[in-house]
């Protein structure tokens, strides 16, 4: 029975914890579901499995493949979907990347692991600024709206509200079912103004529902 521990394996595990801690700190700071400890354990676990595969005989590819499969299950667990959007995709991608960094450390590419960590951190830090810039760009969004009655005056009143928010609207579909007027409007403008429009629509009694 061999109780010896190679120094390079200890170094690999320490570096994986440091790399995982750097990324995990950013996730914890943003109050994400997968935070500091979880990311560190993912990178450390991936490193340990990679070290084991390196010391084994003919097991490298199988263990590496199983790490990727297992991380896929963990990533899927943090993704949530509701009627309006999908949440957790970034966190799932971070988990996947953290496992890759752990595997890189496990095979001894410590400098490369640090480079991957810095690149990942830069992407995560810059994403808010990029999203802010994208939010200031004009985009199109289709709203499906149902009114409480078939009165066209309600639709015209809504179109005036759209203009008030400096947005452009285009009727894509207009139909009536059971004395209820429904319309598909293509709204074009800045996300901030679209959000303000949504708030106004929520408070408009003439609108039955929209999505």
Burial class (CB in 10 A: 0-12, 13-18, 19+), 161: middle
Mean pLDDT, rounded, for 145-161: 82
Say what the pLDDT of residue 1 is: 47
Residues 6 or more apart whose Cβ sits within 8 Å of residue 183: 144, 145, 147, 155, 171, 173, 174, 175
The radius of gyration of the chain from alpha carbons, rounded to an integer in Å, stands at 26
Percent of the chain with pLDDT over 90: 0
- How does pLDDT run across 171-184, given as a tens digit for each residue? 888 888 777 888 88
pLDDT at 6 over 50: yes
Q: Identify the band that residue 86 occupies on the pLDDT scale cut at 50, 70 and 90.
A: low
Rounded to two decimals, the pTM is: 0.59
Domains of the chain (ranges plus CATH)? 7-134 (no CATH), 138-210 (3.30.70.260)
Helix H or strand E encompassing 74: helix 60-77
Between CA 184 and CA 171 the distance in angstroms is: 6
Choose among 74, 18, 13: nearest CA to 48: 13
Place of tokens 């760009």: 137
Q: How many angstroms separate the CA atoms of 108 and 112, rounded?
A: 9
pLDDT at 208: 81
Task: Enumerate the β-bridge partners of residue 1.
Answer: none
């Amino acid at each position: 029975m061999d109780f010896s521990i190679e120094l390079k394996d200890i170094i690999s595990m320490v570096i994986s914890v440091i790399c995982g801690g750097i990324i995990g700190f950013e996730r914890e700071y943003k109050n994400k579901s997968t935070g500091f400890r979880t990311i560190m354990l993912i990178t450390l676990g991936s490193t340990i499995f990679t070290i084991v595969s390196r010391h084994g005989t003919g097991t490298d590819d199988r263990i590496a493949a199983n790490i990727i499969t297992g991380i896929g299950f963990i990533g899927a667990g943090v993704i949530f979907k509701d009627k309006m959007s999908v949440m957790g995709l970034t966190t799932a991608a971070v988990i996947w990347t953290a496992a890759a960094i752990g595997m890189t450390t496990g095979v001894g590419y410590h400098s490369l692991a640090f480079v991957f960590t810095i690149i990942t951190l830069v992407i995560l830090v810059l994403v808010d600024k990029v999203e802010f810039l994208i939010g200031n760009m004009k985009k199109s969004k289709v709203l499906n709206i149902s009114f409480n009655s078939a009165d066209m005056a309600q639709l015209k009143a809504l179109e005036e509200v759209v203009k008030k928010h400096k947005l452009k609207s285009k009727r894509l579909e207009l139909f009536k079912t059971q004395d209820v007027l429904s319309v598909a409007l293509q709204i074009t403008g800045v996300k901030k103004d679209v959000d303000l429009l949504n708030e106004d629509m929520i408070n408009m009694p003439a609108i039955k529902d929209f999505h």
